Structure 1
Amino acid sequence: MLTRRDFGLAAGGLAVLPGLARPALAQRAGGNLVMAQQAQPPTLDAQVTTAQAARNISLHLYETLYARDEAGNPVPDLAEGVDISPDGLTYRFALRDARFHNGKPMTSADVKASLLRYGRVGGSAFIMQPVDAIEAPDARTVVVRMKAPSPGFIAGISSPRAPCAIMPEEEAGKEASKNEAIGTGPYRFVEYRPDSHVQLARFADYVQNRAYQGMDGFAGRKVPNVENITIRFVAEGGARTAGLQAGEMHILEAIAVPAAQRLRSDASLKMHEMMPWSFQTLMLNLAQPPMDNPAFRRALQAALDLEEIMAISTDGLYRMTHGWQHPGTTYFAGDAGKELYNINNKDRAKALLKEANYKGEEIILLGDSSFKNHNDTIVTAAEQLRGIGINVRVNITDWPTAFSQRTQRSGWHVWALMLGIEPYEGPYGVVGFFSGHAPVQHVRDEVIEDCQRRLTTGLKEEERKQAVADFQKRMYDEAIAIKCGDVGIVQATRAQVRDYKPYRIPRMWGVSLG
């Protein structure tokens, strides 16, 4: 078993962990599991951050009232269920048995304090804005009263984006990132060494949710088999792959598609493909001429060969899907807008440029070097647009600079973005991306604003589904943004990692080492 003094790892290095590299190929059940991810978390306060690097860790430590199942639908987790009043103003949650890592049983007082804290510091604190009051009438019941109906409330508190984590009442009274990492999850926190690793240990007193038979997304029955988990921060993809091959690492958060293809025949490894993982998109700045002209935007929409963009930017791991929600989910809007997806008609595009009275103005395409998908998408799109006579300048920066630049109303026209957690969560994040006080396109569209209003206030599911269909149609009719397609990823494990199921994070409950 690993001890604290065994962790002297350099970020990106391949230092051998005691008891891992040599015995790794014959590890017994239990033991020590090592997962490698690209980045270190900005904080271990699960409520505060939307960083994937933090979710990978915090969702082993914390649980939420509702979580997402394998298909991304909200299901009970720490709650046994919820009764919602007919007017949509009162939510009554019954709580299941759970115990915190400090030994304290979870009560409604902890849940109330955690929800109130989320409204103050949460990474998606807006989900608490409709809440008028929270009551704890007894130890096993929490009542949330709304100012107005909010059909998206359960979707919000079940989101893993910045989890609405339940923590002890005394920790919920602390400021952002000042709390101890104490939750009810199957693993407990041991230590965090920046630029190196986080260590977790099996929570021996974890109370499994017996309403489930097995794993189910971020909910389900969570069985902590391995004794210790080490999450290493290894920025360089080649180093992560080499560490997996050498047996120093058991699970990779992601492996490059070419490396996955090369290693598929290696019997000591397993590749786990996930499709879909995210949308590949081109966001358009409607505040910057000539992008403020719908005819010009439709010219771009008509000109682009989206399949070529997807094939190049994903190394072949993609699917061509027009929907702004994933097929098979509740809010998938069918064929709305489909006729305007991947037109790839250069003559039509040139006619639209003429209609737009385009005079050769420079169009700035903004990408970043941190994500291959973004860089390849921008470079490929630029060549295609030059092919119909558009004056294109490509601006490739690092990710923080590109992300900051897109918040400005000038200096860019097109921005490449993989939209991942939002479509997984459902329609609220996606529609919200293009509505409200700061839409990504910088110019509010009143039809989309109305779709957002109907989505967030409609008490009937059919009303909300129609709002999403209307949103999707508007996105295509006005070329508000361009969806290129769906991107997949590959997670990788050693073959000795048993019962691993790929998901939005590498779930390390339910697995064992052979």
Structure 2
Amino acid sequence: MTRDENNHPILELAESMDEAPDHLTYTFKLRQGVHFHNGKLMTSADVVASFDRYAKVGNQRSTLDAVDHWDAPDAATFVLHMKKVQPTFIEALSSFSVPIVIIPAENRDIPAQQLTQPIGTGPFQLVESVPGSAVKLKRFDGYKPNTSFQDRTGFGGYKIACVDTVTFRIVTEPGARVAGLRTGEFQAVEDLPAKSLPDLKQDTNITILPLKNWWIQIANPNVSNPPTDKLLVRRAIQAALDMDEIMDAASDGNYQLNVGFQYPNQPDYTDVGKDTYNLHDPELAKKYLAQAGYQGEPVVLLTNKDYPPMYNSALVMQQELQAVGINAQMKVVDWPTSVQIMQNTTQGWNFFFTGWGTQPALGALATMQFLVEPNATYKPKDNKDDPDVLAAWNDMNTLPTAAGRQNAYVQMQKLVLDRVYAVPFGSYTQVEAVRSNVNGFVPFRIPRFANVWFSH
């Protein structure tokens, strides 16, 4: 399963799904004639193997916690048997945040992060991946479009590769992205600096495509490492921050202030916890620090220069913390290293800077999963989640009514902001653009090049 253009669950490699009346069994009939990029015909054995592997190494394997087991009664059928009713299961299963990608069964036992030559079923197949530089794809001539749809929608629907190859190039210098778009070296650019827009809008060879609410600019605390193990220290940091100043630096002014973990245009949005947001109150911060017995211990801000919005927000936050007497220090590494440090250690850092983009777009459930086991971003001591947060999360997943689940989300957001398990700064607008001879490109969470073609 995946999501459509409006982030609603849809079938992708399945042609049908039957949910039993007791909601304890989901039976999927697979699309027929689907081949992997190595030519192998996809069957339910591959689906079983993919779920087996994800249950062991998947980043959000807790998605499958409510599942008792799965099986394949025949080559075209895959069945999920639940331990208990979970009203949000299909919402979680269809998330493309870290999806359960279907891979050939022979790759079942490849360890986490070692699937270096991925083989999928989509309209494009991998040619080459050079970390930090480029990824090249080519049309998969054996691709079978999903005829249940008339057009591409979200990551699903009727998809066709209209171009021979697609090359994603990683260009960290904003000026180089602008220059490449102007000359035609790049047909599409995912992130344009705001200051370049007035000139680019005058260029008839370029189409500007703003994408609001691209991500929530955010800093995640490490509550296992002093001094941010103390709630009062975290509250002092929260009180000191001027979100306008931080977001302006992060986005060249292309932002909106945003409380919490959804956007105002989304059905789950709530402004609960706004009394903790954008306080910019140095005296309150100093009061909390005194109550905490803060003695000038370093507060290490772990960031990177690969993503300027992350680096710039950390730089401004450092200055704002130093202004209230906090010994804020920057630890700047490359993006992959910062992620590895955050994931694998609780030592040597106190805040990790990132952007939550895909998950807020998918909804509250996908977003709040960041804050619970097995990989809660606030790094709870001894990996033991805050029981109140975990209880709210369980209610978000299991309460029988939509109103009850929404109320649980409201409670979870309030707990996370009150206890400073995350510090959301605001909403970043990303400006994308294409050359004017590029047709069919529609901005989405991640660039899509199926159903995109050139006019001459």
Judge same fold: TM > 0.5, yes or no: yes
1:257-281 C-alpha deviation (Å, 9 max, x unpaired)? 4344542322112222212121111
Does structure 2 retain, via aligned residues, the 8 Å contact 1:366–1:394?
yes
Structure 1's 183 and 404: CA in aligned 2 closer, same or farther, altered over 3 A? closer
1:462 equivalent among 384, 390, 403 = 403
Once the two structures are TM-superposed, the CA of residue 398 in structure 1 deviates from its matched residue by 3.2
Does structure 2 retain, via aligned residues, the 8 Å contact 1:302–1:344?
yes
2:204 equivalent among 249, 267, 270 = 267
Structure 1's 163 and 180: CA in aligned 2 closer, same or farther, altered over 3 A? same
Q: How does 1:243-392 map to 2 (within 5 A)?
A: 243-332=180-269, 334-392=270-328
1:117-161 C-alpha deviation (Å, 9 max, x unpaired)? 433454544434543332333444321112344445433432323
* Alignment partners' CA distance in 1, 2:327 and 2:182: 46
1:186-227 C-alpha deviation (Å, 9 max, x unpaired)? 2344x3264775544434454333333333110122233223
Once the two structures are TM-superposed, the CA of residue 473 in structure 1 deviates from its matched residue by 0.7
> Quick one: which amino acid aligns to residue 94 of structure 1?
K
Once the two structures are TM-superposed, the CA of residue 504 in structure 1 deviates from its matched residue by 1.9
> Quick one: which amino acid aligns to residue 420 of structure 2?
A
Number of residue-to-residue matches in the alignment = 446
* Alignment partners' CA distance in 2, 1:238 and 1:138: 55
Once the two structures are TM-superposed, the CA of residue 94 in structure 1 deviates from its matched residue by 3.0
Q: How does 1:43-122 map to 2 (within 5 A)?
A: 66-100=1-35, 101=37, 106-122=42-58
Moved more, 338-347 or 377-386: 338-347
1:157 equivalent among 79, 83, 93 = 93
Which residue does 2:435 correspond to in 1?
A: 494
* Alignment partners' CA distance in 1, 2:38 and 2:334: 41
Moved more, 350-359 or 488-497: 350-359
- Say what the alpha-carbon RMSD is for the aligned residues: 3.0
Which residue does 1:431 correspond to in 2?
A: 368
1:184 equivalent among 102, 121, 144 = 121
Structure 1's 94 and 292: CA in aligned 2 closer, same or farther, altered over 3 A? same
Which residue does 1:4 correspond to in 2?
A: none
Which residue does 1:442 correspond to in 2?
A: 379
Which residue does 1:230 correspond to in 2?
A: 167
Partner-residue secondary structure (3-state), 1:249: coil
> Quick one: which amino acid aligns to residue 412 of structure 1?
W
* Alignment partners' CA distance in 2, 1:174 and 1:287: 33
Does structure 1 retain, via aligned residues, the 8 Å contact 2:128–2:137?
no
* Alignment partners' CA distance in 2, 1:111 and 1:437: 23
Once the two structures are TM-superposed, the CA of residue 283 in structure 1 deviates from its matched residue by 1.8
Aligned-residue identity in percent: 35
> Quick one: which amino acid aligns to residue 488 of structure 1?
T
Does structure 2 retain, via aligned residues, the 8 Å contact 1:98–1:184?
no
2:83 equivalent among 125, 136, 147 = 147
> Quick one: which amino acid aligns to residue 96 of structure 1?
R
Partner-residue secondary structure (3-state), 1:483: strand
Partner-residue secondary structure (3-state), 1:480: coil
Structure 1's 261 and 68: CA in aligned 2 closer, same or farther, altered over 3 A? farther
Once the two structures are TM-superposed, the CA of residue 472 in structure 1 deviates from its matched residue by 0.4
Once the two structures are TM-superposed, the CA of residue 321 in structure 1 deviates from its matched residue by 1.0
> Quick one: which amino acid aligns to residue 454 of structure 2?
L
Partner-residue secondary structure (3-state), 1:455: helix
* Alignment partners' CA distance in 1, 2:423 and 2:298: 19
Structure 1's 398 and 199: CA in aligned 2 closer, same or farther, altered over 3 A? closer
Which residue does 1:134 correspond to in 2?
A: 70
Does structure 1 retain, via aligned residues, the 8 Å contact 2:123–2:161?
yes
Does structure 2 retain, via aligned residues, the 8 Å contact 1:149–1:459?
no
Say whether 1:483 aligns with 2:421. no
Structure 1's 104 and 365: CA in aligned 2 closer, same or farther, altered over 3 A? closer
Once the two structures are TM-superposed, the CA of residue 289 in structure 1 deviates from its matched residue by 3.9
> Quick one: which amino acid aligns to residue 358 of structure 2?
I
Say whether 1:504 aligns with 2:445. yes
> Quick one: which amino acid aligns to residue 92 of structure 1?
T
* Alignment partners' CA distance in 2, 1:485 and 1:276: 9
Structure 1's 193 and 439: CA in aligned 2 closer, same or farther, altered over 3 A? closer
Moved more, 322-331 or 445-454: 322-331
* Alignment partners' CA distance in 2, 1:106 and 1:405: 37
2:333 equivalent among 385, 392, 397 = 397
Once the two structures are TM-superposed, the CA of residue 106 in structure 1 deviates from its matched residue by 4.1
Say whether 1:415 aligns with 2:316. no
* Alignment partners' CA distance in 2, 1:430 and 1:236: 29
Moved more, 142-151 or 313-322: 142-151
Does structure 1 retain, via aligned residues, the 8 Å contact 2:357–2:445?
no
1:344-392 C-alpha deviation (Å, 9 max, x unpaired)? 2334334434444444444333332232112211221122223333333
Once the two structures are TM-superposed, the CA of residue 487 in structure 1 deviates from its matched residue by 1.6
Structure 1's 250 and 285: CA in aligned 2 closer, same or farther, altered over 3 A? same
Question: Which ranges in structure 1 are unaligned for 5 or more consecutive residues?
Answer: 1-65
Does structure 1 retain, via aligned residues, the 8 Å contact 2:29–2:76?
yes
* Alignment partners' CA distance in 2, 1:438 and 1:279: 19
* Alignment partners' CA distance in 1, 2:253 and 2:358: 21
Once the two structures are TM-superposed, the CA of residue 418 in structure 1 deviates from its matched residue by 1.7
Once the two structures are TM-superposed, the CA of residue 490 in structure 1 deviates from its matched residue by 2.4
| TM-score in terms of structure 2 length | 0.86
Does structure 1 retain, via aligned residues, the 8 Å contact 2:60–2:374?
no
Once the two structures are TM-superposed, the CA of residue 311 in structure 1 deviates from its matched residue by 0.8
* Alignment partners' CA distance in 1, 2:374 and 2:141: 47
> Quick one: which amino acid aligns to residue 124 of structure 2?
Y
Structure 1's 479 and 228: CA in aligned 2 closer, same or farther, altered over 3 A? closer
* Alignment partners' CA distance in 1, 2:218 and 2:226: 20
* Alignment partners' CA distance in 2, 1:312 and 1:254: 16
Once the two structures are TM-superposed, the CA of residue 298 in structure 1 deviates from its matched residue by 2.3
Structure 1's 93 and 469: CA in aligned 2 closer, same or farther, altered over 3 A? same
Partner-residue secondary structure (3-state), 1:267: coil
